[in-house]
Amino acid sequence: MPRQLSFVQQIQKLYKGKNIDAAVSLQKSVLGSEDLIISVNKKTAVGKRGTKSSKGMVPESTLQYFLELGLNIQELESSNMEESVEEIQEKLSPEASFANIIENLEKYSTEKKEVILSNKSKLLSILKTYSPIKKDNYEFGLSLNLRPNRRLIAFEWNDRKRVREYSQRPDFPNLWECRACYRIYKRLSTPGVVRIHECSERVARPHLYYVSDIVFLPDEHSCKPMDYLLVMHYQKLLHEGNVPGARSMRQKINFIYGECDFA
């Protein structure tokens, strides 16, 4: 469909030139029905014509929605292409990891050293299967009913593009449960489905530990992480008090990293 394809390219060009008004009005003038599907060719390199690696189907309504949200398509594209990590953190033994936390305490926790030392045995046991992340690798967010600190959004290990979203367990305040995995778990544990036994439940319901003001990510985690930029845009809507907007963003856009890709 060459006509629609060039339309998308036109939009993206306008967008790149920061000509957002023109992009929006062009999109509005060309758009017919909401459910029209267009095909977008994915390029392996920017600016190179004909280097197509795969074909993705992007609903035109999604493109329009992105423009309405003010989400920068170019930013999302480049976010999906780069694979940079500023600092590679190695997985250390529990003892070495604990020593590293003590040595760089202000990067991990606001607690005093004595508090961390008094929790040493508990932390060592957590460190067997969990890894500590520094404070700039996670933040707290709002829930859909705008309650603060109800979400913990954490970057993946050695990854500044993918995040997972956790919520605190009321029964175990030190445990924050992965939201995506919890949804899967709930589906599986509904009546009529064979109950998951305790051992596999640990795999099916990954948590992070939040102990002594330190966040520990689980080493084993299999759900697909989400795109940081999308999750943060969703949080921005919540911070503006725009609950319907946030809810509709969740419904319309797939937050999983790389699955909203139309580069």
- Residue 3 vs 187, nearer CB to Zn ion: 187
CA dist 71 and 47 (Å) reads 21
181 in contact with Zn ion (CB under 5 A): yes
Give the shortest CB-180-to-Zn ion separation in angstroms.
5
Stretch binding Zn ion (CB under 5 A), from 85-93, 133-141, 174-182, 251-259: 174-182
Give the shortest CB-178-to-Zn ion separation in angstroms.
3
- Residue 177 vs 261, nearer CB to Zn ion: 177
Give the shortest CB-136-to-Zn ion separation in angstroms.
22
On whether the CB atoms of residues 133 and 217 are closer than 8 A, the answer is yes
Residues 87-146 touching Zn ion, rule: CB under 5 A, are none
- Residue 7 vs 182, nearer CB to Zn ion: 182
Give the shortest CB-181-to-Zn ion separation in angstroms.
3
CA dist 82 and 252 (Å) reads 25
Q: CB atoms < 10 A from the CB of 228, how many?
A: 19
Alpha helices in 82-206 (DSSP H): 94-103, 105-108, 113-118, 120-126, 179-188, 198-204
- Residue 40 vs 178, nearer CB to Zn ion: 178
- Residue 19 vs 222, nearer CB to Zn ion: 222
180 in contact with Zn ion (CB under 5 A): yes
- Of the candidates 67, 73, 133, 178, which one interacts with Zn ion according to CB under 5 A? 178
Give the shortest CB-182-to-Zn ion separation in angstroms.
8
Which residues of this chain interact with Zn ion, rule CB under 5 A?
178, 180-181, 223
